[in-house]
């Protein structure tokens, strides 16, 4: 029995709830998927997902309510986490924006990457493309990039799971997963299944 949370500060929460339930079903893992927006709700989770949305909004609400510190502590204890798009930004150590430079926004800082926000441009430049993600055994993965960030630098302990062009778009540092696109919109549950497997390992520790 694993317990997986999805942060509900802001963003496409419901898509992650559905994808995670589907991943549990496909893997035959008994578990529950819950929403998380208060610090006490972070306790007892075997994994956490931070959805797409606006990273500045999530960061401010998480900071205000004390959930930011609670999440960071659990991730440093080894709790697996998946951040997609804004979620990746929230996980990152350093964030840069072309419009305002260093953003100074509240971050978890648990994933050793430098991320540029809105790196591909505005919504008009948002796109979808099919990617191969060999580390997860996925071919022709429908990757949807929405005002997506870009990973400019990765630290030593960071494994690149997928790239598009010359930039990493999916990375992993131990049990911390981040994607610049939205696997929760793709119809494939490859990333959610990877997280469920991590949650099972973590729950048995």
Q: Tell me which residues are annotated as active site.
A: 85, 182, 184
Beta-carbon contacts of residue 114 (< 8 Å; ≥ 6 apart): 92, 93, 94, 95, 96, 151, 152, 153
User: Is residue 150 within 8 Å of 112, Cβ to Cβ?
Assistant: no
Q: Which of 2, 4, 6, 11 binds other proteins (CB under 8 A)?
A: 11
Question: Binding-site residue total for other proteins (CB under 8 A)?
Answer: 49
Site residues for other proteins, window 55-114 (CB under 8 A)?
56-57, 60-61, 64, 85-86, 97, 99-100, 103
Question: Least separation, in Å, of the C-beta of 187 and other proteins?
Answer: 6
Decide if residue 182 touches other proteins (CB under 8 A).
yes
Stretch that binds other proteins, among 15-23, 42-50, 74-82, 168-176 (CB under 8 A): 15-23
User: What x/- string results for residues 37 through 56 when contact with other proteins is judged by CB under 8 A?
Assistant: xx-------------xxx-x
Q: Give the whole-angstrom CA distance, residue 36 versus residue 48.
A: 9
Backbone dihedral angles phi then psi of residue 51, each to the nearest 5 degrees: -75, -175
Span near other proteins by CB under 8 A; candidates 26-34, 159-167, 169-177, 191-199 = 159-167
Burial, 104: exposed, middle or buried (Cβ in 10 Å; 0-12, 13-18, 19+)? exposed
Report the distance separating Cα 77 and Cα 100, nearest Å. 33
Beta strand 150-154 with 111-117: parallel, antiparallel or unpaired?
antiparallel
Q: By CB under 8 A, which span of 73-81, 151-159, 162-170, 171-179 interacts with other proteins? A: 162-170
Task: Compute how many other C-beta atoms are within 10 angstroms of the C-beta atom of residue 68.
Answer: 23
Q: Which of 30, 77, 102, 123 binds other proteins (CB under 8 A)?
A: 123
- Going edge to edge, which strands form the sheet with 92-97? 101-102, 92-97, 111-117, 150-154
Give the interface with other proteins as residue ranges (CB under 8 A). Answer: 8-15, 18-19, 37-38, 52-54, 56-57, 60-61, 64, 85-86, 97, 99-100, 103, 117-118, 121-131, 142, 144, 146-147, 164-166, 182, 185, 187
């Amino acid at each position: 029995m694993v317990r997986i949370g999805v942060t509900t500060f802001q963003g496409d929460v419901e898509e992650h709830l559905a994808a995670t339930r589907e991943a549990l079903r496909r893997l035959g893992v008994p578990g529950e998927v819950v929403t998380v927006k208060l610090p006490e709700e972070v306790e007892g989770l075997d994994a956490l997902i931070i959805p797409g949305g606006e990273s500045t909004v999530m960061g401010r609400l998480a900071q205000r309510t004390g959930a930011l510190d609670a999440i960071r502590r659990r991730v440093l204890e080894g709790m697996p986490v998946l951040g997609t798009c804004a979620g990746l930004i929230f996980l990152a150590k350093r964030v840069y924006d072309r419009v305002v430079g260093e953003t100074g926004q509240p971050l978890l800082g648990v994933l050793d990457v430098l991320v540029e926000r809105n790196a591909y441009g505005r919504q008009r430049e948002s796109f979808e493309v099919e990617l191969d993600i060999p580390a997860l055994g996925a071919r022709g993965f429908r990757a949807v990039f929405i005002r997506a960030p870009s990973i400019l630098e990765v630290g030593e302990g960071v494994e690149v799971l997928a790239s598009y062009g010359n930039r990493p778009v999916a990375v992993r540092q131990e049990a911390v997963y981040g994607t610049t696109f939205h696997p929760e919109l793709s119809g494939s549950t490859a990333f959610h299944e990877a997280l469920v497997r991590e949650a099972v390992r973590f729950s048995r520790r």
